Structure 1
Amino acid sequence: MKTLRPTSFDVAERAGVSQSTVSRALRGSPGVNAETRARVATAASDLGYVVDRHASSLRLKSSETLALVTICRPGEDRSAINPFYFALLGSIAAATSARGFNLLVSFQESEANFRADFVASGLADAMIVIGTTSNRAAWDYFAKAQTAGFDFVCWGSPGGAFHWMRSDNEVGGRIAAEHLVAAGRSRPVFIGPFRSPQRQFDERRDGFAAALAAHGIAPVVVEPPAAADRHAQGVAAARDLLAAHPDVDAIFAASDMLALGVLQGLKDAGRRVPDDVALIGFDGIRAGTLADPALTTLEPDLDAAGEALVAMALEDAGYSRSGTRIPVQLILRGSA
């Protein structure tokens, strides 16, 4: 009886990596670190795997390219995308370039352009997904793609089915609360979506509430009304909040874009920031520095995020493919 020769998929299973990583490791790609390359070589040796040189141009071909999918809202102008994602894209591009790889960027918004086969088609060696979680259809598509065997990692994600990375959101919420308490604020509010698939909003709220509870303070929690974007939601949320709770003296908004809308809403109502109401956002976007007053924010280490996402996508040893957290720091500016 003829014995089947081991394949690169067998090597991948034994080494605990994907087949594309086996391909990169065996051709000496700079995108694979020494530890992973050694693990693949050991697995190949143990199995007696020998590269078929006749087919190596196909099986071991590496594009030296990473694919980055950015999910948008349907019909959204690309210039209106949350600037946080452009900043994250820049960090991923820098980390990709440092590996000697190219970056293929795909903006996707609907069934007309959903695509997850960049690795399977040979266009890329690995794939990263970022972008808004408000596009449910897109995330449903990628959830099905991952179940079907298409491999990728993502920032945020609306559920546990994905290989994900997030900011250390709960810690950020606690930092915001402690800063406001230390500043003598006693009537704090959290503004952020309740039913968003964006789990990080819940984590920020939970950390904020837990830290305040330790001081005997229960925050008011406000869900912004539906609107065209986060900024518009923030303007409307501030209006509704002041009508219901005119004595508010501090606000922690779930994102910077939401906070910038809240700032506008407070100004429209004649409230002074930070004299009457202190305001803190989350994300560290550059637009916050241009506000008046400049926005105090929790800023994730985006350089670390870019490097870690690329390392996760390329299956570097030492990087968990799910549950990685990126540290955040409080950037004090004029609003709090």
Structure 2
Amino acid sequence: MPKSSQNFGKLSTLKQPDDTGPTDSAAKASNKAPAKATSLDIAHLAGVSQPTVSRALRNSPLVSEATRKKVQEIARQLNYKVDVNARNLRSRHNNTIALLLCDDLDTSGTLINPFFLTMMGSITQAAAREGYDLLVSFQQLSDNWLADYKDANKADGIIFLGYGDYTDYVNRIQALAEMNAHFITWGPVLAGQPGLFLGCDNAGSGRMAGRHLLNLGRERIAFFGDISAHCPEFHQRYRGFCLAHDEQNIEQDKTLVFRADSNEDDGGHAATALLASKKPFDAVFCASDLIAIGAIRVFHSAGLTVPGDVAVVGFDDISSAAYTTPALTTIKQKTGEAGEELVQSLIKLIAGQTISSRLLPTELIVRESCGAKR
């Protein structure tokens, strides 16, 4: 295992019934243990095939809810106990999902992007509900995680959170796709990507944020974020932001775009650079909440009021966004739904289903930093 890897072990434990099967008078008389029920017995009683019984007992999404409940109830009545070792040998599955959180830690070596932590919590809960163990590994972006996870016996599939430089990441996962590995990435949905991606509607969200600020009468709106090909999610947010300007025949000043990665320090640096440029501005759309929090701190230090002098909108809706001063208006990524969809999509891949990459909707959360009346 990589040196930074941590296995959080089982997240849920299915209590099995007693090993004793049902007894009858003949068995008691002969002092012989009754024959144990088999999956074939359950299949006969449920009126389904034996493979369907196996899928129903492991909560496969390929089986309808009604059939799953029927099979599981018959199994309970028969005190049927799944031989996990035998099942794993047959299916070569171990009911384990690997969650690789790829993120460069801050300079103290301790902090992880809080958005990723929230996502990790929702993925943990979703995996537990489906009876899957979760192997969580924190990976530095510089680590050779591909070599560590080429061994398919470690997990049935992989969920990736965070990717750093997108162009480098795509090159890495291309090898996994060529191995027909089961994996899904939380990130941008683009044409020609290797593997499966699930993400939020970044362009639509940027458009939503831009419309909101423009409708509030703000016209000189800066953008803080990396809009290069290395960070397509931020670029998509910026593209939607520009589209909102086009809709109102307002030109988005390209000189008001300042590069920032998703951390508070970069948000502060971007705000400092904007102030130093002496260019007029009345609002800032930040590609993440962390960038926005750092920017607001610098604006306050420079004597500007938020939202009086400058309105600010962030992105993500991390837990601290509601507790900044002023409380941060932001685009909410629905992490609960995202975690559930990531796990369900990966389970479908493992089961052999063909599914497509797709986008999830977001929501504008209006608080104090934009100046809108609520």
Q: Residue 62 of structure 2 aligns with which residue?
A: 33
Does structure 1 residue 128 correspond to structure 2 residue 162? no
Unaligned stretches of 5+ residues in structure 1:
1-21, 39-53
8 Å Cα contact 1:255/1:283 also seen in 2: yes
Aligned with residue 145 of structure 2, among 80, 97, 114: 114
Q: Residue 284 of structure 2 aligns with which residue?
A: 251
Shift in CA distance, 78/67, structure 1 to aligned 2, threshold 3 Å: farther
Distance 1:326 1:226 in 2: 24
Q: Residue 3 of structure 2 aligns with which residue?
A: none
Shift in CA distance, 136/81, structure 1 to aligned 2, threshold 3 Å: farther
Shift in CA distance, 234/212, structure 1 to aligned 2, threshold 3 Å: same
Distance 1:274 1:240 in 2: 19
Distance 1:307 1:284 in 2: 18
Question: Within 5 A, what are the aligned runs for 1:1-336?
Answer: 28-34=57-63, 57-73=88-104, 79-109=110-140, 114-115=145-146, 120-134=151-165, 140-156=171-187, 160-221=193-254, 222-225=256-259, 230-315=263-348, 321-336=355-370
Deviations 1:243-280 (A, max 9, x none): 22542001101111111111122112211100000000
SS at match of 2:233: helix
Residue identity opposite 2:247 in structure 1: A
8 Å Cα contact 2:322/2:328 also seen in 1: yes
SS at match of 2:305: coil
8 Å Cα contact 2:202/2:240 also seen in 1: yes
Shift in CA distance, 269/322, structure 1 to aligned 2, threshold 3 Å: farther
Q: Residue 19 of structure 1 aligns with which residue?
A: none
Distance 2:166 2:107 in 1: 11
Larger radius of gyration: 2
SS at match of 2:160: strand
Shift in CA distance, 24/284, structure 1 to aligned 2, threshold 3 Å: farther
SS at match of 1:314: helix
Residue identity opposite 1:34 in structure 2: V
How far did 1:322 drift? Answer: 3.9
If the length of structure 2 is used for normalisation, what is the TM-score? Answer: 0.70
Q: Residue 49 of structure 1 aligns with which residue?
A: none
Deviations 1:88-146 (A, max 9, x none): 11111111111122211011126655146758533322211111424865554333222
Residue identity opposite 1:269 in structure 2: A
Shift in CA distance, 77/105, structure 1 to aligned 2, threshold 3 Å: farther
Q: 4+ residue stretches of structure 1 with deviation over 6 A? A: 22-25
Shift in CA distance, 110/169, structure 1 to aligned 2, threshold 3 Å: closer
Residue identity opposite 1:305 in structure 2: A
SS at match of 2:363: strand
Shift in CA distance, 162/264, structure 1 to aligned 2, threshold 3 Å: farther
How far did 1:195 drift? Answer: 1.7
Residue identity opposite 2:59 in structure 1: P
SS at match of 1:329: strand
8 Å Cα contact 1:175/1:330 also seen in 2: yes
CA-atom RMSD in angstroms:
3.2
